[in-house]
A and B are shown apart, each in its own frame.
Chain A
Amino acid sequence: QSALTQPRSVSGSPGQSVTISCTGTSSDVGAYNYVSWHQQHPGKAPELLIYDVTKRPSGVPDRFSGSKSGNTASLTISGLQVEDEADYYCCSYAGTYTPWVFGGGTKVTVL
């Protein structure tokens, strides 16, 4: 299973909105509503940000939102804050035998 495709980097000023895309295929992103997003700060473990395309775990600010259209999922960060500077990874369920595939990661820079 190939990795999902994400832009290598996106940037924005504090208070702006940025959107990260995650493009897969009809066998993963397009087939299941099981796309999740993880945030990873340098030297730290990833943390769950969004699951089941649009759901937020408790404690995650509502500035973070997810969506999906066809084979592409998206993560939007509204009202960008300095602490949002991190790497973001999408992940999709892809079937029984190779259950999960990750995106290559997107570095978000707050200007």
Chain B
Amino acid sequence: QVQLVESGGGLVKPGGSLRLSCAASGFTFSDYYMTWIRQAPGKGLEWVSYIHSRGAPTYYADSVKGRFTISRDNAKNTLYLQMNSLRAEDTAVYYCARDDGWHFGYWGQGTLVTVSS
């Protein structure tokens, strides 16, 4: 069955960096576009970034453009999100999700990123 497992979250100081990973299994990872979506505590969902099946092109929300980088390793069935220059407003649960054709058919369980001094 399809599984998406995020990791790499934690507590980081403002201005710091963190790399999130999303390990995929149960499907041919290289066939699918993938997305990162986040949810601040007590808030709604926000689309963050998107990557085509072969690694390019990539797209970013204005709120993270220039600070976050999405990438993937199809040989390792893994999606990544490199987050630099982190701000307090980046505090959220980060989900990876599979794009099943204009919708997100499968989500991971999420990983919490807390940006605080």
Contacts and interface: CB of A to CB of B under 8 A. Distances in A.
Whether A associates with B in a native complex is yes
A38 B37 CA distance: 13
Given A45-B95, A45-B110, A102 B44 contact: yes
A52 B71 CA distance: 27
Interface string B9-34: 00000000000000000000000000
Given A98-B59, A98-B61, A36 B44 contact: no
A45 B44 contact: no
Interface in A12-48: 32, 34, 36, 38, 45-48
Contacts, number: 58
A96 B50 CA distance: 11
Interface string B91-115: 0000100001011111111100000
Contact of A52 (B45, B47, B103, B110): B103
Interface band, chain B: 20 to 34
Contacts of A45: 95, 107-110
B103 A91 contact: yes
Nearest to B6: A45
Given A45-B108, A45-B109, A46-B107, A93 B102 contact: yes
A89 interface: yes
Q: Give the 3 A-B CB pairs with smallest separation, nearest first.
A: A51-B103, A34-B102, A36-B103
Interface of A: 3, 32, 34, 36, 38, 45-48, 51-52, 57, 89, 91, 93, 96-105
